[in-house]
């Protein structure tokens, strides 16, 4: 089938990499699995070989949905849907997530998983190496509002890099496989929205000092002389909570 540029489609063909990805998620017969963006089903086949309790495929491209239905039949459940908006919280119980995430929407998908974190057991994803560097950064130029937002809720680990030659067609950049594990931290959805808006303001003008972007409580006034990229996720959370208490 013809790949579609608008969906950011690059399909993994290296069987060794595919096995390493599924191994990293420790799939067992008791697990419910969601695979995001299965495309031609290469990763799907490897997941099925581990005999999970249930496998749900989320695919945005209707042509690939039809292809997957013909290929796998009743072995999997296939839903045409946009993983950046999909209501994962409607799923029963806890699920492990896998996916070779499209480069152009990978961070939006991960942000949506935070929104539906109550069903999220763990995730192993392939993303652009630059995205992996950003998601795991805690300071400096790669550090931004999203890793600061995710950090209280998720542990994000870089596992291994993947060469462009492992894909059809080869992308122009390297990819990285990451693992995301919940920390157990809890926050109401309304507070999460406030926290995200606070972080967006903090990082909105990166070259300016923090005091120019956000209000700071008295005990954190000294942070006003720093830039956002110099303040750790834990410190941002403490500042936000102190503001809430004022």
Which of 125, 122, 241 lies closest to 177 in space, CA to CA?
125
Whether 37 has a binding-site annotation, put simply, is: yes
d(CA 153, CA 25): 19
Q: CA distances (Å), 125 to each of 72, 207, 227, 230, 239, in order?
A: 22, 32, 31, 28, 31
Task: State whether residue 114 is helix, strand or coil.
Answer: helix
Decide if 69 contacts 91 (C-beta within 8 A). no
Q: What is the number of residues in the chain?
A: 246
Coarse DSSP helix, strand, coil percentages of the chain, rounded to the nearest 5 percent: 45, 20, 35
What is the rounded distance in angstroms from the CA atom of residue 246 to the CA atom of residue 243? 5
Q: Classify burial at 200, counting beta carbons within 10 Å of its beta carbon; exposed 0-12, middle 13-18, buried 19 or more.
A: middle
| DSSP character at residue 228 | G
Find out whether 10 is annotated in a ligand binding site: yes
73 is in an annotated binding site: no
158 beta partners: 178
Is 12 known as a binding-site position?
yes
CA triple 31-32-35, angle to 5 deg: 120
Instruction: State the binding site.
Output: 10, 12, 37, 59, 82, 100
Instruction: State the binding site for S-adenosyl-L-methionine.
Output: 10, 12, 37, 59, 82, 100
């Amino acid at each position: 089938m013809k790949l579609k540029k608008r969906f950011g489609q690059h399909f993994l063909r290296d069987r060794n990499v595919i096995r390493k990805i599924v191994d990293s998620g420790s799939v067992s017969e008791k697990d419910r699995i969601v695979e995001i963006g299965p495309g031609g089903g290469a990763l799907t086949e490897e997941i099925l070989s581990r005999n999970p309790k249930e496998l749900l495929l989320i695919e945005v491209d209707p042509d690939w949905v039809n292809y997957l239905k013909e290929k796998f039949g009743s072995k999997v459940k296939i839903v045409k849907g946009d993983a950046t908006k999909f209501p994962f919280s409607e799923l029963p119980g806890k699920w492990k997530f896998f996916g070779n995430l499209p480069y152009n929407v990978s961070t939006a998908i991960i942000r949506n998983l935070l929104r539906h974190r109550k069903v999220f057991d763990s995730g192993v994803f392939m993303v652009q190496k630059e995205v992996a560097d950003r998601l795991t950064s805690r300071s400096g130029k790669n550090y931004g509002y999203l890793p600061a937002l995710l950090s209280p809720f998720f542990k994000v680990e870089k596992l291994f890099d993947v060469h462009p030659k492992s894909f059809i067609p080869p992308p122009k950049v390297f990819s990285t496989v990451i693992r995301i594990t919940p920390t157990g931290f809890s926050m109401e959805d309304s507070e999460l929205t406030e926290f995200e808006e606070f972080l967006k303001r903090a990082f909105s003008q990166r070259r300016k000092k923090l005091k120019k972007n956000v209000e700071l409580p008295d005990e954190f006034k000294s942070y006003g002389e720093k830039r956002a990229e110099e303040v750790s996720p834990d410190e941002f959370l403490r500042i936000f909570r102190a503001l809430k208490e004022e």
